[in-house]
Structure 1
Amino acid sequence: MELPITTHYDMLGGEAGISRLVNRFYDIMDELPEAWELRKIHPQDSQPARDKLFKFLSGWLGGPGLYEAEYGHPRLRMRHAPFPVDTQMRDQWLLCMNMALDEQVTDELLKMQLKASFANVADHMRNRAG
């Protein structure tokens, strides 16, 4: 008998869990003085960015490929090229995401895996020196 495959999407609570994580991430970005430079490069209304991150994470974490269905392949580096992503921006993004993960994810192994995966992707997004 095969065990069912459990994805990170499922382990986070599916659509509702991803939505909570994304909303908490952006709320932290709005609230945290240490993330001010990161917040400045986002539009005043963060709802479109929240929606895109939710759709991206849905598929990236093993759930429905919502982002791909609407926008095509993520091409993350290309889509972030217009924004100055240096080490400081990467670190601010990771600070907000890691805080959201700390608040939203109780499974320590899952949290550790997600933090490592987010760190790899965030580092890959750097397109400026510094």
Structure 2
Amino acid sequence: MTETSLYDRIGGAPTIDALVDSFYARMDQLAEARTIRAMHPQDLAPLGQVLKDYLSEWLGGPALFSPVRGHPRMRQRHMRVAIDSAARDAWLLCMRGALAETVADEAARQAIDEAMARLADWMRNVPDEQPAENTISQN
């Protein structure tokens, strides 16, 4: 018996697309996300595609990220960006809202949220008193 991936449980690529689009829309719209929005380039479309590719693979779907970009090394890729607890919380606020909007399977949504919360916490790389002033690239 094979276990169904989270990717398949949530509806595959269409749900990943909607999730990422909702995430970045929230980043643009929410005052609480202003700080993390400033870390990103004006045009979010290229980063959106990178995130879609990453989430596809991370959730057990097609490997779209690694063949093009290599091992994710997420923390290493973000080390040039100062990420404190406030940035983590803003990111999670946007992602949790997007998950609630796009993922109907409550158990899958909770599993993804828990894994993302651990990942977001692990991404913190500066003490909370240091401001986040760098920008994220598309790499």
- 1:86 maps to 84
Equivalent residue of 1:102, what SS?
A: helix
CA distance in structure 1 between the aligned counterparts of 2:23 and 2:29, rounded to whole angstroms: 10
Deviation at 1:5, TM superposition (A): 2.5
Once the two structures are superposed, what CA deviation does each residue of 1:27-79 show, in whole Å capped at 9, x if it has no partner?
A: 11111111000000000000111011000000000001111010000001110
TM-score, normalization: structure 2?
0.89
- 1:104 maps to 102
- Answer 1 or 2: which has greater helix percent: 1
Contact 2:10 2:104 in 1 (8 A): no
The runs of at least 4 consecutive aligned structure 1 residues that moved more than 6 Å come to: none
CA distance in structure 1 between the aligned counterparts of 2:6 and 2:119, rounded to whole angstroms: 16
Does 2:11 correspond to 1:16? no
Deviation at 1:105, TM superposition (A): 1.5
| Larger relative contact order, structure 1 or 2 (CA cutoff 8 Å, min sep 6) | 2
Equivalent residue of 1:59, what SS?
A: helix
* Structure 1: stretches of 5+ with no match in the other structure: none
CA distance in structure 1 between the aligned counterparts of 2:28 and 2:10, rounded to whole angstroms: 23
* Structure 2: stretches of 5+ with no match in the other structure: 129-139
TM-score, normalization: structure 1?
0.95
Aligned identity (percent) is 45
CA distance in structure 1 between the aligned counterparts of 2:119 and 2:79, rounded to whole angstroms: 14
